Chain A
């Protein structure tokens, strides 16, 4: 599994876009980039995932660089409820494969 590197913490003003970076320079061709978040004392919540094209859903957008060595999760209008630890994971999309969690980024949305 490719190792991912994320900043340990970030702040964002409420209502502004939160841009969370992730480096995965050793990612292989069949590995997807997954993003999850974990609010205190809850299980991780799936946000989005992608292979090489940019993706968007009701929660966020995922921008993957052309060389796939890094990506950015964008929360377009952060709210206080978006305060959480965000995990970026590079993993092949195989039903038998577990997700390996790194340290994540602790996002603090401030009023």
Chain B
């Protein structure tokens, strides 16, 4: 079946630095990918919709200059958390849609900002 991968699976960074998270669809092309964030004991919250070859669409309250999204190919989208702060520590999950069924989700990236 379709598989979505994320890299890295976990990362620790210092406050003020930037972190890039990759999301890849391994055996299908995804024109649209989605980025979610999940805090402990909470549900997934959509951050942005990533469209191949165009600008991402951000949900209300999500700073586009802080969370940079690039969807340069049909199999890769990246999320860069710029000038990370401890409150950005969270579980970041991407998903990609295939034509034959509902979205597949990546395994998630746990970000800890110290």
Contacts and interface: CB of A to CB of B under 8 A. Distances in A.
Contact of A46 (B31, B101, B107): B101
Interface in B50-106: 91, 93, 95, 97, 99, 101-106
Nearest to A104: B43
Q: Chain B interface mostly helix, strand, loop or mixed?
A: strand
Interface residues of B, number: 25
B93 A44 contact: yes
A-side interface size class = 20 to 34
CB-based closest 9 A-B pairs: A43-B105, A101-B44, A44-B105, A98-B34, A101-B43, A43-B108, A43-B107, A34-B102, A43-B93
Interface of B: 4, 6, 31-32, 34, 36, 43-46, 49, 91, 93, 95, 97, 99, 101-108, 110
